[in-house]
Amino acid sequence: MRYRLLLFLQMINLISSGVLPPRKRFPDAIIVGVKKSGTRALLEFLRINPLIKAPGPEVHFFDKNFNKGLEWYREQMPETRIGEVTIEKSPAYFHSKMAPERIKSLNPNTKIIIVVRDPVTRAISDYTQSSSKRKRVGLMPSFETMAVGDCANWLRANCTTKTRGVNAGWGAIRIGVYHKHMKRWLDHFPSQNIHIVDGEKLISNPADEISATEKFLGLSPVAKPENFGVDPIKKFPCLKNDDGKLHCLGKTKGRHHPDVEPSVMRALKEFYGPENKKFYQLTEYEPYLRIIHTCRNPDSPKALTIEIPLGDAKKLRRYFVLNNYNVDITEKGEEDKYTIGGKRRFQ
């Protein structure tokens, strides 16, 4: 009996001193999406905190590899000590019908992290990645054709039946109807277990978004503005090393998007308008920045116009300055929003 007591006390001392050997654990938190909204950037920026650990590649256990079993899943995780946080990232979980229930079955206390961005921009980014991966640039139909045209030869979806003029069955469009997917997560997890990251603000003000996520994870924030810089070419945020040099994400991040016809941009904005409102009502989440028009006016080819909530005007001014725009803010007077326009000072 005395021996067991001594052994127990030694174990308590080891735990309190943090010297127990590390081991692989199921994740405390999962970045479940949204695809092409900044999930990779979020995870890489979170690594600033030494207590956050993550596996390398996307695991896709709860959607594609579930039949491999829990021990296989655990083996994909990094080794961690008591007090460290394990995070997994697989953005396809967000629109998976099975993932929420499966994650809850493993651990109902799992913390769920979701990155959202303007769904129009997200769809364009999704299209850009798909065309690049398939090496079909120039062979695939244009974004406009896929979004609002005759896409029957390219999609399983019925392109003759449109929703408000848009091919809502196309995956790049469908994923951006956030409220339909979000409802499944709220059916399985309480709202206090779900943290929403603004993908637009993650680019314009990464320190604030990372700090908020650290707090959600129960950690003391270590991210500061001086930890970040901006890629001078892609204008995408990068981590700043101790020596001041920038450590930027891969070459696929911040890649050039195709120019999209203004009429198609307007059609997509009108399509997503009511869908976005349902998402806001469902989550009580402050709207992300809504890019409505990257100006293609031949008289002003380098202009950019963005529609945003009033409270974000100052934050967006900083974004414009960081991205080398002269800023001109004018009140739009419609639904209490501003139209902020600016011309790039140089390319």
117 is annotated as contributing to ligand binding: yes
**What is the rounded distance in angstroms from the CA atom of residue 291 to the CA atom of residue 322?**
17
159 contacts 146 by C-beta, under 8 angstroms: no
194 contacts 185 by C-beta, under 8 angstroms: yes
247 is annotated as contributing to ligand binding: no
38 is annotated as contributing to ligand binding: yes
36 classed as catalytic: yes
95 is annotated as contributing to ligand binding: no
257 is annotated as contributing to ligand binding: yes
17 is annotated as contributing to ligand binding: no
318 is annotated as contributing to ligand binding: no
Of 24, 35, 36, 314, which is the active-site residue? 36
Residue whose C-alpha is closest to residue 308's, from 316, 318, 300, 296: 316
23 is annotated as contributing to ligand binding: no
SS3 105: helix
Residues whose CB is less than 8 angstroms from the CB of residue 122 and which lie 6 or more positions away in sequence, other chains included: 34, 35, 36, 37, 172, 175, 176, 199
Please spell the DSSP secondary structure of 48-104, one letter per residue: TSTTEE--SS---TTTTSGGG-HHHHHHTSPEE-TT-EEEEE-GGGTT-SSHHHHHH
314 is annotated as contributing to ligand binding: no
56 is annotated as contributing to ligand binding: no
Q: Which residues are annotated as a binding site?
A: 36-40, 117, 125, 253-257
What amino acid positions are annotated as catalytic residues?
36
Q: Which residues are annotated as a binding site for 3'-phosphoadenylyl sulfate?
A: 36-40, 117, 125, 253-257
